[in-house]
Chain A
Amino acid sequence: MLSLVTSHRGPTDTESAESTAAALESLLEQVAAGDQQAFGELYDRTASRVLGLVKRVLVDHAQSEEVTQEIFLEIWRTAPKFEAMRGSAMSWILTMTHRRAVDRVRSSQSGHDRDERIGIRDIEPAYDHVAESVEIRIEHERVKRAMAQLTDFQREAISLAYYGGYSHTEIAGILAIPVGTVKTRLRDGMIRLRDALGVAS
Protein backbone atom coordinates (compact mmCIF):
# COMPACT_ATOMS: atom_id res chain seq x y z
CA MET A 1 0.00 0.00 0.00
CA LEU A 2 1.22 3.41 -0.87
CA SER A 3 -0.56 5.32 1.83
CA LEU A 4 0.92 8.70 1.35
CA VAL A 5 -0.30 12.16 2.02
CA THR A 6 -0.64 14.57 -0.84
CA SER A 7 2.00 17.20 -0.67
CA HIS A 8 2.28 20.52 -2.34
CA ARG A 9 5.54 21.59 -3.71
CA GLY A 10 6.90 24.95 -4.68
CA PRO A 11 8.32 25.84 -8.03
CA THR A 12 11.16 23.76 -9.45
CA ASP A 13 13.94 23.73 -6.97
CA THR A 14 17.41 24.73 -7.86
CA GLU A 15 18.82 21.27 -7.36
CA SER A 16 17.46 19.92 -10.60
CA ALA A 17 20.05 21.57 -12.81
CA GLU A 18 22.87 20.26 -10.70
CA SER A 19 21.66 16.69 -10.52
CA THR A 20 20.96 16.18 -14.19
CA ALA A 21 23.05 14.86 -17.01
CA ALA A 22 24.81 17.57 -18.91
CA ALA A 23 22.45 19.27 -21.32
CA LEU A 24 23.45 19.43 -24.94
CA GLU A 25 23.87 23.16 -24.60
CA SER A 26 26.47 22.87 -21.89
CA LEU A 27 28.21 20.10 -23.81
CA LEU A 28 28.46 22.42 -26.79
CA GLU A 29 29.87 25.05 -24.49
CA GLN A 30 32.60 22.63 -23.45
CA VAL A 31 33.19 21.63 -27.04
CA ALA A 32 33.60 25.29 -27.89
CA ALA A 33 36.42 25.37 -25.36
CA GLY A 34 38.17 22.51 -27.12
CA ASP A 35 37.02 19.69 -24.87
CA GLN A 36 37.31 16.52 -26.92
CA GLN A 37 35.66 14.31 -24.37
CA ALA A 38 32.62 16.56 -24.34
CA PHE A 39 32.61 16.30 -28.10
CA GLY A 40 32.60 12.51 -27.82
CA GLU A 41 29.60 12.66 -25.55
CA LEU A 42 27.82 15.11 -27.81
CA TYR A 43 28.50 12.76 -30.68
CA ASP A 44 27.17 9.75 -28.81
CA ARG A 45 24.00 11.57 -27.97
CA THR A 46 23.23 13.04 -31.37
CA ALA A 47 24.97 11.00 -34.09
CA SER A 48 22.08 8.65 -34.78
CA ARG A 49 19.75 11.63 -35.20
CA VAL A 50 22.15 13.37 -37.52
CA LEU A 51 22.82 10.29 -39.62
CA GLY A 52 19.11 9.49 -39.62
CA LEU A 53 18.24 12.85 -41.10
CA VAL A 54 21.10 12.82 -43.61
CA LYS A 55 20.14 9.37 -44.76
CA ARG A 56 16.54 10.40 -45.09
CA VAL A 57 17.62 13.01 -47.61
CA LEU A 58 20.51 11.22 -49.31
CA VAL A 59 19.36 7.59 -49.04
CA ASP A 60 22.80 6.20 -49.87
CA HIS A 61 24.34 4.94 -46.64
CA ALA A 62 28.04 5.34 -47.38
CA GLN A 63 27.54 8.83 -48.64
CA SER A 64 25.38 9.66 -45.64
CA GLU A 65 28.11 8.56 -43.24
CA GLU A 66 30.59 10.69 -45.10
CA VAL A 67 28.40 13.75 -44.85
CA THR A 68 27.66 13.01 -41.20
CA GLN A 69 31.36 13.03 -40.48
CA GLU A 70 31.70 16.39 -42.21
CA ILE A 71 28.82 17.70 -40.14
CA PHE A 72 30.43 16.68 -36.86
CA LEU A 73 33.70 18.26 -37.87
CA GLU A 74 31.76 21.41 -38.62
CA ILE A 75 30.10 21.18 -35.21
CA TRP A 76 33.54 20.94 -33.65
CA ARG A 77 34.83 23.82 -35.73
CA THR A 78 31.92 26.17 -35.25
CA ALA A 79 30.80 25.32 -31.71
CA PRO A 80 32.26 28.64 -30.49
CA LYS A 81 29.66 30.35 -32.67
CA PHE A 82 26.71 28.61 -31.08
CA GLU A 83 24.46 31.06 -29.30
CA ALA A 84 22.16 29.48 -26.78
CA MET A 85 19.90 32.53 -26.94
CA ARG A 86 19.17 31.74 -30.55
CA GLY A 87 17.61 28.34 -30.05
CA SER A 88 18.35 24.86 -28.77
CA ALA A 89 21.54 22.95 -29.41
CA MET A 90 19.59 20.17 -31.10
CA SER A 91 18.00 22.64 -33.45
CA TRP A 92 21.39 24.17 -34.22
CA ILE A 93 22.82 20.76 -34.99
CA LEU A 94 19.89 19.62 -37.11
CA THR A 95 19.87 22.90 -39.01
CA MET A 96 23.50 22.35 -39.91
CA THR A 97 22.74 18.73 -40.70
CA HIS A 98 19.94 19.50 -43.08
CA ARG A 99 21.87 22.22 -44.86
CA ARG A 100 24.81 19.90 -45.42
CA ALA A 101 22.64 17.08 -46.65
CA VAL A 102 20.88 19.38 -49.06
CA ASP A 103 24.16 20.83 -50.31
CA ARG A 104 25.32 17.34 -51.07
CA VAL A 105 22.17 16.22 -52.78
CA ARG A 106 22.20 19.25 -55.04
CA SER A 107 25.84 19.03 -55.95
CA SER A 108 26.19 15.37 -56.66
CA GLN A 109 25.10 12.41 -58.60
CA SER A 110 22.78 11.51 -55.80
CA GLY A 111 20.40 14.08 -57.21
CA HIS A 112 19.62 11.60 -59.94
CA ASP A 113 18.99 8.74 -57.53
CA ARG A 114 16.75 11.03 -55.61
CA ASP A 115 14.70 11.90 -58.66
CA GLU A 116 14.13 8.23 -59.29
CA ARG A 117 13.26 7.25 -55.80
CA ILE A 118 11.00 10.06 -54.80
CA GLY A 119 8.30 11.12 -57.12
CA ILE A 120 6.02 12.72 -54.66
CA ARG A 121 5.93 11.08 -51.34
CA ASP A 122 4.55 11.48 -47.93
CA ILE A 123 6.66 11.92 -44.84
CA GLU A 124 5.84 8.40 -43.75
CA PRO A 125 9.11 6.51 -43.72
CA ALA A 126 9.29 2.75 -43.64
CA TYR A 127 9.56 2.20 -39.93
CA ASP A 128 11.32 -0.81 -38.61
CA HIS A 129 8.85 -2.28 -36.22
CA VAL A 130 11.40 -3.36 -33.65
CA ALA A 131 14.36 -1.05 -33.38
CA GLU A 132 12.32 2.07 -32.86
CA SER A 133 12.44 3.61 -29.43
CA VAL A 134 9.19 4.76 -27.98
CA GLU A 135 10.24 8.40 -27.97
CA ILE A 136 11.12 8.41 -31.64
CA ARG A 137 7.80 6.91 -32.56
CA ILE A 138 6.07 9.46 -30.42
CA GLU A 139 8.04 12.29 -31.96
CA HIS A 140 7.14 10.91 -35.33
CA GLU A 141 3.49 10.62 -34.34
CA ARG A 142 3.55 14.16 -33.10
CA VAL A 143 4.97 15.55 -36.30
CA LYS A 144 2.62 13.43 -38.35
CA ARG A 145 -0.30 14.80 -36.43
CA ALA A 146 0.91 18.35 -36.94
CA MET A 147 1.48 17.65 -40.63
CA ALA A 148 -2.09 16.41 -40.85
CA GLN A 149 -3.24 19.91 -40.00
CA LEU A 150 -1.71 21.27 -43.19
CA THR A 151 -3.42 21.38 -46.52
CA ASP A 152 -2.38 18.63 -48.92
CA PHE A 153 -0.55 21.21 -50.99
CA GLN A 154 1.38 22.57 -48.04
CA ARG A 155 2.29 19.12 -46.81
CA GLU A 156 3.47 18.04 -50.20
CA ALA A 157 5.64 21.11 -50.66
CA ILE A 158 7.19 20.86 -47.20
CA SER A 159 7.91 17.15 -47.56
CA LEU A 160 9.58 17.66 -50.90
CA ALA A 161 11.66 20.50 -49.54
CA TYR A 162 12.70 19.05 -46.20
CA TYR A 163 12.87 15.32 -46.72
CA GLY A 164 13.46 15.38 -50.46
CA GLY A 165 15.97 18.23 -50.32
CA TYR A 166 14.40 19.95 -53.31
CA SER A 167 14.68 23.69 -53.85
CA HIS A 168 11.59 25.77 -54.41
CA THR A 169 12.47 26.00 -58.08
CA GLU A 170 12.72 22.23 -58.35
CA ILE A 171 9.45 21.80 -56.49
CA ALA A 172 7.81 24.24 -58.86
CA GLY A 173 9.05 22.10 -61.72
CA ILE A 174 7.88 18.86 -60.18
CA LEU A 175 4.42 20.18 -59.39
CA ALA A 176 4.15 22.42 -62.45
CA ILE A 177 3.22 25.50 -60.45
CA PRO A 178 4.83 28.94 -60.13
CA VAL A 179 7.74 29.37 -57.72
CA GLY A 180 5.84 32.12 -55.95
CA THR A 181 3.13 29.62 -55.14
CA VAL A 182 5.68 27.18 -53.77
CA LYS A 183 7.13 29.87 -51.52
CA THR A 184 3.70 30.74 -50.23
CA ARG A 185 2.87 27.11 -49.51
CA LEU A 186 6.16 26.59 -47.73
CA ARG A 187 5.73 29.67 -45.59
CA ASP A 188 2.06 29.24 -44.75
CA GLY A 189 2.65 25.55 -44.11
CA MET A 190 5.62 26.13 -41.84
CA ILE A 191 3.76 28.75 -39.86
CA ARG A 192 0.87 26.38 -39.37
CA LEU A 193 3.28 23.62 -38.41
CA ARG A 194 5.00 25.93 -35.96
CA ASP A 195 1.68 26.69 -34.30
CA ALA A 196 0.62 23.05 -34.28
CA LEU A 197 3.90 22.01 -32.68
CA GLY A 198 3.78 24.84 -30.20
CA VAL A 199 7.15 26.26 -31.23
CA ALA A 200 7.59 29.77 -29.88
CA SER A 201 10.64 31.90 -29.60
Chain B
Amino acid sequence: MTDRTHGDDVDPRLLSGAYALDATSAEEAERFERAASASDSLRDEAEELRETASRLGLAAQPVTPSERMRAELMAKLATTPQLARTSTADAPTDAPTPAPDARTAPAVQPTVAPAVIAPDAAPADVDAPLVAVGPAERRAAQRWYTRPAAILAAAAAAAALFVGGGLVGSALNGSGSSVATDASASGLAAIAAAGDTQRSTVPLAGGGTATVVWSAELGRSAVLADGLPTLPDGKVYEAWYIDSSGATPAGTFTAAGSGTSWHVLNGTMAAGDAVGVTVEPAGGSPAPTTDPILVVQAA
Protein backbone atom coordinates (compact mmCIF):
# COMPACT_ATOMS: atom_id res chain seq x y z
CA MET B 1 0.00 0.00 0.00
CA THR B 2 1.47 3.29 -1.02
CA ASP B 3 -0.76 5.75 0.73
CA ARG B 4 0.30 8.94 2.44
CA THR B 5 1.93 10.05 -0.76
CA HIS B 6 -0.50 12.86 -1.32
CA GLY B 7 2.22 15.44 -0.94
CA ASP B 8 3.44 14.71 -4.42
CA ASP B 9 0.40 15.94 -6.33
CA VAL B 10 1.57 18.41 -8.87
CA ASP B 11 -1.82 19.27 -10.26
CA PRO B 12 -4.22 20.62 -7.63
CA ARG B 13 -7.05 19.71 -9.98
CA LEU B 14 -6.67 16.09 -8.94
CA LEU B 15 -8.03 17.11 -5.56
CA SER B 16 -11.26 18.69 -6.81
CA GLY B 17 -13.41 15.63 -6.09
CA ALA B 18 -11.97 14.98 -2.66
CA TYR B 19 -12.26 18.69 -1.87
CA ALA B 20 -15.92 18.83 -2.83
CA LEU B 21 -16.57 15.85 -0.57
CA ASP B 22 -14.59 17.27 2.37
CA ALA B 23 -12.25 14.31 2.10
CA THR B 24 -8.99 16.22 2.10
CA SER B 25 -6.81 17.24 5.00
CA ALA B 26 -7.09 20.83 6.17
CA GLU B 27 -3.75 21.71 4.59
CA GLU B 28 -4.76 20.23 1.26
CA ALA B 29 -8.05 22.09 1.36
CA GLU B 30 -6.19 25.33 1.89
CA ARG B 31 -3.77 24.56 -0.89
CA PHE B 32 -6.65 23.71 -3.18
CA GLU B 33 -8.52 26.89 -2.36
CA ARG B 34 -5.44 28.95 -3.10
CA ALA B 35 -5.06 27.24 -6.45
CA ALA B 36 -8.77 27.68 -7.22
CA SER B 37 -8.72 31.37 -6.47
CA ALA B 38 -6.00 31.75 -9.10
CA SER B 39 -7.71 29.70 -11.80
CA ASP B 40 -11.14 30.35 -13.24
CA SER B 41 -11.51 26.88 -14.67
CA LEU B 42 -10.48 25.22 -11.44
CA ARG B 43 -12.87 27.43 -9.50
CA ASP B 44 -15.70 26.55 -11.86
CA GLU B 45 -14.99 22.87 -11.45
CA ALA B 46 -14.82 23.21 -7.69
CA GLU B 47 -18.16 25.02 -7.58
CA GLU B 48 -19.86 22.53 -9.83
CA LEU B 49 -18.62 19.60 -7.79
CA ARG B 50 -19.71 21.35 -4.58
CA GLU B 51 -23.15 21.81 -6.03
CA THR B 52 -23.11 18.15 -7.04
CA ALA B 53 -22.12 17.12 -3.53
CA SER B 54 -25.00 19.12 -2.12
CA ARG B 55 -27.38 17.04 -4.24
CA LEU B 56 -26.06 14.05 -2.34
CA GLY B 57 -26.94 15.99 0.77
CA LEU B 58 -30.45 16.68 -0.45
CA ALA B 59 -30.94 12.97 -0.96
CA ALA B 60 -30.38 12.25 2.71
CA GLN B 61 -33.53 11.56 4.64
CA PRO B 62 -34.67 14.74 6.41
CA VAL B 63 -34.96 14.61 10.17
CA THR B 64 -37.19 17.05 12.03
CA PRO B 65 -35.34 18.79 14.84
CA SER B 66 -36.86 19.23 18.28
CA GLU B 67 -38.85 22.37 19.06
CA ARG B 68 -36.42 23.06 21.86
CA MET B 69 -33.58 23.44 19.43
CA ARG B 70 -35.30 26.18 17.51
CA ALA B 71 -36.05 28.14 20.66
CA GLU B 72 -32.49 27.78 21.94
CA LEU B 73 -31.10 28.82 18.62
CA MET B 74 -33.28 31.88 18.29
CA ALA B 75 -32.30 32.90 21.81
CA LYS B 76 -28.64 32.75 20.88
CA LEU B 77 -28.93 35.05 17.90
CA ALA B 78 -29.03 38.15 20.05
CA THR B 79 -25.59 37.41 21.40
CA THR B 80 -24.04 36.13 18.20
CA PRO B 81 -22.45 38.89 16.16
CA GLN B 82 -22.51 38.66 12.39
CA LEU B 83 -19.57 39.12 10.09
CA ALA B 84 -19.31 42.32 8.13
CA ARG B 85 -20.52 42.06 4.59
CA THR B 86 -17.76 42.14 2.03
CA SER B 87 -18.09 43.73 -1.34
CA THR B 88 -18.67 41.04 -3.89
CA ALA B 89 -16.28 40.61 -6.74
CA ASP B 90 -19.08 41.35 -9.17
CA ALA B 91 -20.15 44.60 -7.58
CA PRO B 92 -18.94 47.72 -9.32
CA THR B 93 -16.11 48.83 -7.12
CA ASP B 94 -14.89 52.34 -7.58
CA ALA B 95 -12.59 52.12 -4.62
CA PRO B 96 -10.32 49.09 -4.39
CA THR B 97 -10.68 48.84 -0.62
CA PRO B 98 -14.19 49.92 0.28
CA ALA B 99 -14.92 50.85 3.84
CA PRO B 100 -16.79 47.87 5.32
CA ASP B 101 -19.74 49.93 6.49
CA ALA B 102 -20.30 51.70 3.22
CA ARG B 103 -21.16 48.42 1.54
CA THR B 104 -23.41 46.85 4.09
CA ALA B 105 -26.68 48.20 2.77
CA PRO B 106 -27.62 46.89 -0.66
CA ALA B 107 -31.13 47.08 -2.05
CA VAL B 108 -32.64 45.62 1.08
CA GLN B 109 -33.19 47.94 4.00
CA PRO B 110 -31.99 46.05 7.05
CA THR B 111 -34.51 45.80 9.83
CA VAL B 112 -31.70 45.58 12.32
CA ALA B 113 -28.26 46.99 11.71
CA PRO B 114 -25.72 44.27 10.94
CA ALA B 115 -23.56 43.20 13.84
CA VAL B 116 -25.59 45.32 16.22
CA ILE B 117 -28.40 43.10 17.34
CA ALA B 118 -30.92 44.49 19.71
CA PRO B 119 -30.36 42.52 22.91
CA ASP B 120 -34.00 42.74 23.90
CA ALA B 121 -35.26 41.14 20.73
CA ALA B 122 -37.77 38.48 21.64
CA PRO B 123 -36.88 35.38 19.66
CA ALA B 124 -39.89 33.47 20.88
CA ASP B 125 -42.12 35.74 18.84
CA VAL B 126 -40.52 34.67 15.64
CA ASP B 127 -42.80 32.14 14.16
CA ALA B 128 -42.55 32.43 10.44
CA PRO B 129 -44.76 30.19 8.34
CA LEU B 130 -43.14 27.33 6.52
CA VAL B 131 -44.07 28.77 3.18
CA ALA B 132 -45.18 32.34 2.91
CA VAL B 133 -47.88 32.06 0.33
CA GLY B 134 -50.78 33.86 1.95
CA PRO B 135 -51.41 37.01 -0.07
CA ALA B 136 -50.10 35.62 -3.34
CA GLU B 137 -52.25 32.58 -2.97
CA ARG B 138 -55.30 34.65 -2.23
CA ARG B 139 -54.59 36.81 -5.24
CA ALA B 140 -54.26 33.74 -7.36
CA ALA B 141 -57.49 32.37 -5.99
CA GLN B 142 -59.31 35.57 -6.81
CA ARG B 143 -58.02 35.37 -10.32
CA TRP B 144 -59.73 32.04 -10.71
CA TYR B 145 -63.13 33.54 -10.25
CA THR B 146 -62.62 36.12 -12.95
CA ARG B 147 -62.14 33.46 -15.55
CA PRO B 148 -64.50 32.18 -18.20
CA ALA B 149 -67.41 30.09 -17.04
CA ALA B 150 -65.99 27.13 -18.91
CA ILE B 151 -63.42 26.57 -16.21
CA LEU B 152 -65.59 27.24 -13.21
CA ALA B 153 -65.73 23.56 -12.37
CA ALA B 154 -61.97 23.47 -12.25
CA ALA B 155 -61.92 26.66 -10.27
CA ALA B 156 -64.18 25.15 -7.68
CA ALA B 157 -61.90 22.19 -7.39
CA ALA B 158 -58.93 24.47 -6.99
CA ALA B 159 -60.75 26.51 -4.39
CA ALA B 160 -61.37 23.34 -2.43
CA LEU B 161 -57.64 22.87 -2.27
CA PHE B 162 -57.16 26.11 -0.46
CA VAL B 163 -59.34 24.97 2.38
CA GLY B 164 -57.50 21.77 3.01
CA GLY B 165 -57.91 19.55 0.03
CA GLY B 166 -60.91 18.41 -1.91
CA LEU B 167 -61.84 15.44 -3.91
CA VAL B 168 -61.45 16.04 -7.60
CA GLY B 169 -61.84 14.00 -10.66
CA SER B 170 -63.31 10.69 -11.53
CA ALA B 171 -62.20 7.16 -10.95
CA LEU B 172 -59.98 5.69 -13.58
CA ASN B 173 -58.68 2.27 -14.14
CA GLY B 174 -57.08 0.09 -16.72
CA SER B 175 -53.65 -1.13 -17.62
CA GLY B 176 -50.43 0.03 -19.17
CA SER B 177 -47.51 1.65 -17.48
CA SER B 178 -44.43 3.57 -18.18
CA VAL B 179 -41.40 4.87 -16.41
CA ALA B 180 -40.56 8.52 -16.21
CA THR B 181 -37.59 9.51 -18.29
CA ASP B 182 -34.33 10.75 -16.96
CA ALA B 183 -34.93 14.14 -18.47
CA SER B 184 -38.13 14.35 -16.52
CA ALA B 185 -36.42 13.27 -13.33
CA SER B 186 -33.76 15.84 -13.93
CA GLY B 187 -36.33 18.59 -14.24
CA LEU B 188 -38.02 17.35 -11.13
CA ALA B 189 -34.81 17.38 -9.18
CA ALA B 190 -34.21 20.95 -10.30
CA ILE B 191 -37.64 21.98 -9.07
CA ALA B 192 -37.18 20.17 -5.78
CA ALA B 193 -33.81 21.83 -5.31
CA ALA B 194 -35.02 25.34 -6.11
CA GLY B 195 -35.04 27.81 -3.29
CA ASP B 196 -38.70 28.67 -3.64
CA THR B 197 -40.24 25.26 -4.11
CA GLN B 198 -43.89 25.09 -3.15
CA ARG B 199 -46.35 22.27 -3.29
CA SER B 200 -49.94 21.38 -2.93
CA THR B 201 -51.29 17.89 -2.36
CA VAL B 202 -54.75 16.69 -3.26
CA PRO B 203 -56.43 13.31 -2.91
CA LEU B 204 -57.34 11.47 -6.08
CA ALA B 205 -60.65 9.77 -6.60
CA GLY B 206 -58.89 6.46 -7.17
CA GLY B 207 -57.58 6.52 -3.63
CA GLY B 208 -54.11 7.92 -4.12
CA THR B 209 -52.86 11.46 -3.81
CA ALA B 210 -51.37 13.88 -6.26
CA THR B 211 -48.88 16.59 -5.45
CA VAL B 212 -48.05 19.53 -7.65
CA VAL B 213 -44.64 21.00 -6.93
CA TRP B 214 -43.50 24.19 -8.53
CA SER B 215 -40.84 26.81 -8.51
CA ALA B 216 -41.89 30.22 -9.74
CA GLU B 217 -38.24 31.10 -9.94
CA LEU B 218 -37.63 28.39 -12.51
CA GLY B 219 -41.07 28.77 -14.06
CA ARG B 220 -41.43 25.01 -13.87
CA SER B 221 -43.74 22.58 -12.20
CA ALA B 222 -44.33 18.87 -11.90
CA VAL B 223 -47.16 16.57 -10.99
CA LEU B 224 -46.43 13.62 -8.74
CA ALA B 225 -49.01 11.02 -7.95
CA ASP B 226 -49.06 8.03 -5.69
CA GLY B 227 -51.43 5.34 -6.79
CA LEU B 228 -52.29 6.99 -10.07
CA PRO B 229 -54.43 4.47 -11.94
CA THR B 230 -53.06 3.12 -15.18
CA LEU B 231 -55.21 3.95 -18.19
CA PRO B 232 -56.72 1.76 -20.88
CA ASP B 233 -54.84 1.46 -24.13
CA GLY B 234 -55.25 4.51 -26.26
CA LYS B 235 -55.54 6.88 -23.32
CA VAL B 236 -52.93 9.06 -21.68
CA TYR B 237 -52.78 11.67 -18.99
CA GLU B 238 -52.19 15.15 -20.29
CA ALA B 239 -50.99 18.07 -18.21
CA TRP B 240 -52.03 21.68 -18.77
CA TYR B 241 -51.05 25.13 -17.75
CA ILE B 242 -54.28 27.01 -17.37
CA ASP B 243 -54.63 30.76 -17.31
CA SER B 244 -57.37 33.21 -18.13
CA SER B 245 -56.90 32.71 -21.83
CA GLY B 246 -57.25 28.94 -21.69
CA ALA B 247 -55.29 25.75 -21.28
CA THR B 248 -51.87 25.21 -22.81
CA PRO B 249 -50.81 21.58 -23.37
CA ALA B 250 -47.86 20.70 -21.14
CA GLY B 251 -47.12 17.16 -22.19
CA THR B 252 -48.61 13.71 -21.80
CA PHE B 253 -47.65 10.90 -19.47
CA THR B 254 -48.77 7.51 -18.28
CA ALA B 255 -49.02 6.04 -14.84
CA ALA B 256 -46.15 4.10 -13.37
CA GLY B 257 -47.18 0.51 -12.71
CA SER B 258 -46.63 1.02 -9.02
CA GLY B 259 -45.30 3.67 -6.69
CA THR B 260 -45.00 7.26 -7.75
CA SER B 261 -45.81 8.52 -11.20
CA TRP B 262 -44.51 11.91 -12.11
CA HIS B 263 -44.46 14.32 -14.95
CA VAL B 264 -42.52 17.51 -15.35
CA LEU B 265 -44.65 19.90 -17.34
CA ASN B 266 -43.44 21.12 -20.70
CA GLY B 267 -43.29 24.82 -21.28
CA THR B 268 -43.05 27.63 -18.81
CA MET B 269 -45.26 28.26 -15.84
CA ALA B 270 -46.32 31.89 -15.60
CA ALA B 271 -47.51 33.70 -12.53
CA GLY B 272 -51.13 32.89 -11.75
CA ASP B 273 -51.16 29.67 -13.74
CA ALA B 274 -53.04 26.65 -12.56
CA VAL B 275 -51.82 23.14 -13.26
CA GLY B 276 -54.37 20.63 -14.44
CA VAL B 277 -54.42 17.04 -15.61
CA THR B 278 -57.00 15.41 -17.85
CA VAL B 279 -57.31 12.05 -19.55
CA GLU B 280 -56.90 12.33 -23.31
CA PRO B 281 -56.61 10.07 -26.33
CA ALA B 282 -53.09 8.74 -26.95
CA GLY B 283 -50.90 11.46 -28.37
CA GLY B 284 -52.66 14.13 -26.39
CA SER B 285 -55.12 16.81 -27.39
CA PRO B 286 -54.53 20.44 -28.29
CA ALA B 287 -57.22 21.37 -25.78
CA PRO B 288 -58.75 19.41 -22.88
CA THR B 289 -61.62 17.11 -23.88
CA THR B 290 -62.53 15.73 -20.47
CA ASP B 291 -62.99 16.97 -16.94
CA PRO B 292 -59.75 17.38 -15.07
CA ILE B 293 -58.76 14.75 -12.55
CA LEU B 294 -56.90 17.43 -10.70
CA VAL B 295 -56.41 21.15 -10.80
CA VAL B 296 -54.00 23.00 -8.58
CA GLN B 297 -53.57 26.72 -8.50
CA ALA B 298 -49.86 27.41 -8.52
CA ALA B 299 -47.62 30.40 -8.81
Contact = CB atoms under 8 A, between A and B. Distances in A.
- A contact patch SS: helix
Contact of A15 (B6, B127, B272): B272
Nearest to B192: A135
B278 interface: yes
Interface string B263-299: 0000111111000101000000011111110000001
B168 to A, nearest CB: 12
Contact of A4 (B5, B23, B60, B247): B247
A141 B117 CA distance: 43
Nearest to B182: A145
A37 to B, nearest CB: 5
Given A20-B299, A88-B51, A144-B59, A187 B219 contact: no
Interface in A15-61: 15-26, 29-30, 32-41, 43-45, 47-49, 51-53, 55-56, 61
Contact of B50 (A6, A16, A87): A87
B74 A36 contact: yes
B92 interface: no
B248 A9 contact: yes
A89 B195 CA distance: 7
Contacts, number: 414
Given A2-B151, A6-B287, A199 B51 contact: yes
Interface residues of A, number: 127
A180 B59 CA distance: 28
B172 interface: no
A34 B17 contact: no
B95 interface: no
A187 B22 contact: no
A27 to B, nearest CB: 8
Contacts of A51: 62-65
23 contacts: A2-B288, A6-B247, A20-B196, A21-B133, A21-B198, A25-B195, A33-B111, A40-B128, A51-B63, A64-B63, A81-B86, A138-B224, A138-B260, A142-B185, A143-B56, A144-B59, A171-B23, A178-B3, A179-B4, A180-B9, A183-B6, A191-B17, A201-B48
Interface of B: 1-6, 9, 13-18, 20-25, 44-45, 47-66, 69-70, 72-74, 76-77, 80-86, 88-90, 104-106, 108-117, 121, 123, 126-133, 136, 139-140, 148, 150-151, 153-154, 182, 185-186, 188-190, 192-199, 211, 213, 216-217, 219, 224, 226, 241-243, 245-249, 260, 262, 267-272, 276, 278, 286-292, 299
Given A8-B248, A169-B3, A201-B44, 6 more contacts: A16-B270, A52-B60, A125-B61, A138-B262, A182-B23, A183-B17
